[in-house]
Amino acid sequence: MNKPTHPVELLCCAIATQEGFFAAGTVPASRNNPGDLDFAGQLGMTRPPAGSPDPEIGVCDSPQRGIVKLFRQVWEYVDMKFTVREIVQSWAPVAAGNDTSTYLANVLEWTGLPADTPVLELLPPLIKLNG
């Protein structure tokens, strides 16, 4: 499979990688939640069973629904004119115990995107497909 080139797809793949979605047995993998998103009543997502580790992290009813949740959240940040730096700072804040600097460095390395340009400005133009 080829590496994506669309900025939003690149960001979603980098977030899923950083969150551990591709590693068996992790919370994101076992909960079909590649963005490691908190449960907030989203369609197709539930709370984990009582007593589960990371009880705030939602359980998606399929990997595909988890991917939709990840993309939807990233698109919300793009629409708010966030930069990659701002997206990462919001996604993995230091105040929640995250190593935001390493997270950002990894996302920038993996995607090749600039840190401080609004992602909205990086979107490709639409192209007419029927001639």
Spacing of C-alpha 87 from chain mean position: 9
**Helices 100-111, 84-91: inter-axial angle, 10-degree rounding:** 140
Domain ranges of the chain: 7-114
pLDDT in tens, 34-88: 999 999 999 999 999 999 999 999 999 999 999 999 999 999 999 999 999 999 9
What's the whole-model pTM score? Answer: 0.95
Instruction: Find the Cα–Cα–Cα–Cα dihedral 10, 53, 89, 21, rounded to 10°.
Output: -10
Residue 1, pLDDT above cutoff 90: no
Q: Per-residue pLDDT averaged across 108-124, rounded?
A: 97
Identify the three-state secondary structure at position 50: coil
CB–CB of 88/79 below 8 Å? Answer: no
Output the six-digit token pair for 77: 């940040």
Note the pLDDT of residue 115. 98
* Secondary structure of 64-122 in HEC code, one letter for each residue: HHHHHHHHHHHHHHHHCCCEHHHHHHHHCCHHHCCCHHHHHHHHHHHHCCCCCCEHHHH
Minimal CA–CA distance to 69: which of 32, 26, 123?
Answer: 32
